[in-house]
Chain A
Amino acid sequence: MTGAPTVSDTPWLDQDGQKPLVQIKGVTKKYGDVTAVDNVDLDIYQGELFCLLGGSGCGKSTLLRMLAGFESLNGGSITIDGMDMADVPAYERPTNMMFQSYALFPHMSVEKNIAFGLQQDRVPKNDIVDRVHDILTLVELQDFKKRKPQQLSGGQRQRVALARALVKQPKLLLLDEPLAALDKKLRKQTQFELANIQEKVGVTFIVVTHDQEEAMTLSSRMAVMDAGRFQQIGTPTEIYEFPDSRFVADFIGSANFFEGRVTEDSSDHVRVQTDVAEVYIDHGQSVLVGSKIWVALRPEKIQIVKTDEPVSGPNTVNGVVDDIGYLGETSIYKVALPNGQIVDVTAPNQSRPTSETQRITWEDKVAISWEPSSVMLLNS
């Protein structure tokens, strides 16, 4: 707006002006008859924290190992910073990897583990000392530099592994399940730490994880992977709020699914008739009128009220409370609809129930409803 075009802070959202750091084109990996990675395309930009999310065996780790140079490609190409990686062995790539097992050298101290990569590059001795010191300060392990890996706790080892991979200032840092070996509390704390460190050093991170919460917290963008293919690529918000497919909607968070037939499609709204109610969606999405389609609703986006009155109209339906799960901060209500389908509804417990009469309980007649903007239309 102010004259000369500036470099965007978030090039992945403004993809026209930027050259991607990593270009993955038609990459395929086969093990015998099994296709681990199936013809995938992906661009990753400088400064991103990109998460590859998927269940075990979905091909996410294979893709990461191909980026690192540990696996050969059966098809396609990988370009990092404009350079084709086809004939570049792992030891010459501008990438570093943090292994799931950390793979720290057990016969070397923390200090020597971290210095190892710099020694390979023939960095002068004084520089090595300085850089090891700086990175140890960053991960807050200055006092442990003489220790051997087996004398450290799990969390400390994780930080040594991160420091060892970061100290070479790679163009691209690959992290294979970086937090999987930590216990739950430490994992949550480390998630934010990891994102902070990434912001500080500005290195592009690609993180492989099976933990959707981890992916949502860490990533600037993420790809949901299944059966060797990307199901959807986008920011965490896009993936959560606007999933493309039933698989993604189901994989990320939980969702209630309704099958229906499109009755009206215009530029600003869509109507879908389902078994239980008419669904009105206040955003346009090109769908074929008359076609069968799935709509999905997140449990927290459904309101629940206690009522005996029958309701009518779009985006609302009567039901009976079948089961309740009290989780403290929220409650999950399993509501049986007239057609027998059970819908999950979560509601925050914003105040203590003052009297038994106000509280929704088993077998209560209720009405559920949702905002027209909350409905997710699934294409496939």
Chain B
Amino acid sequence: MSDAAAQTAPAATPETKPLMQRIRRKLQNNWRSIVVMVPFAWLLIFFLAPFFIVAKISLAELAIASPPFTKMIEWADSGIMTIRIVFDNFTYIFEDDLYLNTYLNSLKISTTSTFLCLLFGYPIAYAIVRSGPVAKPVLLFLIILPFWTSFLLRVYAWMGLLADQGTINNLLISLGLIDEPIRMLYTEFAVYVGIVYTYMPFMILPLYANMEKLDGSLNEAAADLGSRPTNTFFKVTLPLTLPGIIAGCLLVFIPATGEYVIPDLLGGGNVNMIGRVLYNEFSRNSDWPVAAAVAIVLLFLLVLPIMVFQYFQGKASEAS
């Protein structure tokens, strides 16, 4: 057998050519995993590694040093390694009402904003899907258009609109509808306006993508079988758009919870959200360990509901 194999191999480059071929074949057979590995490597380097660094800092103590925290692993001269892990930052966060209330307030604001985005975004997405072939690309373009100007600029624009001497108040006063300006800027209302306005496209686009795939004849089939339009919506359309609703809600809820710019600019000092606390700890107080702990707790607050949701969804799809 081995003789036969040796004879069939070309005599000139008996080793290199099969090697090149083998590499090429390997690439051909495994190109899928190679393509997947690139983004995974990216995430590993630029997401997972920083996460562990933050986690490490959250377990350290504040120190007058640069960077301003104690080292986790220290080598004594005698060669003995000491590992210092401190949970004080976490106990500090959970014992202080300020942090707890801020977390709850952040969750309240992001949950309400997500709900408002869904409430307004769902009909908008539905209307776009149902619009004609001329209107559809225009409407979609209008949804994406705000991204063409800076996010910061748009928030400043809202400050100009909502201020006591701002456009809206001036208009209402000149129309004689009010005598005194309504206080809008630096209230929770302004924060809601900012978040709902900013994150609306993140709700509409996944909903649109999901609804676009829906077979319009399903609604007709439901009507044909005797279902009234409202019943058809709750029994057919809503369950089938659930993946879009979930995707949109997560895309709004997660960044809204950690939002810093909007509560800072539109809420002033009156609206506490965890993003602002984190920023203050990190930059004004230079308390990196507490800031890191705040970030880690926030992460778990956000990751846990997603994992619970995925667990139940996995169970649901298993059952069917």
Residues of A within 8 A of B (CB): 68-70, 89-93, 95-97, 99, 101, 103-107, 109, 116-117, 120-121, 148, 164-165, 168
Contacts and interface: CB of A to CB of B under 8 A. Distances in A.
Contact of A116 (B220, B225, B239): B225
Given A70-B223, A103-B221, A107-B240, 6 more contacts: A91-B226, A93-B224, A103-B217, A106-B240, A116-B227, A165-B224
Given A106-B240, A120-B227, A99 B222 contact: no
Contact of B224 (A90, A101, A106, A107): A90
B244 to A, nearest CB: 13
Interface of B: 215, 217-218, 220-228, 231, 235-236, 239-240, 320
B220 A99 contact: yes
Nearest to B225: A117
13 contacts: A68-B224, A91-B223, A97-B224, A99-B217, A99-B221, A103-B217, A105-B222, A105-B236, A116-B235, A148-B320, A164-B225, A168-B225, A168-B226
A120 B234 CA distance: 13
B246 to A, nearest CB: 14
B319 to A, nearest CB: 11
Nearest to B220: A70
B226 A105 contact: no
A105 B224 contact: no
Which 3 residue pairs across A and B have the least CB separation, nearest first?
Answer: A117-B225, A120-B226, A103-B221
Nearest to B219: A103
A109 B226 contact: no
Contacts of A103: 215, 217-218, 220-221
A91 B218 contact: no
Contacts of B215: 101, 103
B241 to A, nearest CB: 10
Contacts of B222: 105, 116
Residue with the greatest number of chain A CB neighbours at <10 A, chosen from B215, B217, B223, B226: B226
A101 B220 CA distance: 12
Given A91-B228, A121-B226, A107 B239 contact: yes
Given A91-B227, A120-B227, A97 B239 contact: no
B245 to A, nearest CB: 14
B217 A101 contact: yes
B249 to A, nearest CB: 19
Contacts of A168: 225-226
Nearest to B240: A107
A99 B217 CA distance: 8
A92 B218 contact: no
Nearest to B231: A120
A120 B225 contact: yes
B217 A90 contact: no
Contacts of A107: 239-240
B224 A95 contact: yes
A70 to B, nearest CB: 6
A168 B224 CA distance: 11
Residue with the greatest number of chain A CB neighbours at <10 A, chosen from B218, B225, B239, B320: B225
B279 to A, nearest CB: 44
Contacts of B225: 91, 96, 116-117, 120, 164, 168
A69 B226 CA distance: 12
A99 B223 CA distance: 12
Contacts of B221: 97, 99, 103-105
A107 B217 CA distance: 15
A89 B228 CA distance: 9
Contacts of A95: 224
B145 to A, nearest CB: 31
A109 B319 CA distance: 12
A89 B227 CA distance: 11
Nearest to A115: B225
Given A107-B239, A120-B231, A92 B220 contact: no
A174 to B, nearest CB: 8
A169 to B, nearest CB: 12
B226 A92 contact: yes
Contacts of B231: 120
B220 A90 contact: yes
B247 to A, nearest CB: 17
Given A105-B218, A107-B240, A120-B231, A96 B224 contact: yes
A44 B3 CA distance: 83
Nearest to B224: A97
Nearest to B239: A107
Contacts of B224: 68-70, 90-91, 93, 95-97, 165
A188 to B, nearest CB: 26
Contacts of B236: 105
A97 B217 CA distance: 11
A6 to B, nearest CB: 35
B223 A90 contact: yes
Nearest to A92: B226
Nearest to A116: B225
A13 B176 CA distance: 78
Contacts of B320: 109, 148
A148 B218 CA distance: 15
Contacts of B218: 103, 105
B225 to A, nearest CB: 4
A106 B221 CA distance: 12
Contacts of B240: 106-107
Nearest to B218: A103
Contacts of B228: 91
B313 to A, nearest CB: 13
Contacts of A120: 225-227, 231
A104 B225 CA distance: 12
Contacts of A99: 217, 220-221
Contacts of B227: 91, 116, 120
Nearest to A101: B217
A124 to B, nearest CB: 16
B223 A89 contact: yes
Contacts of A69: 223-224
A68 B227 CA distance: 14
A64 to B, nearest CB: 11
Nearest to A176: B217
Contact of B226 (A68, A70, A104, A117): A117
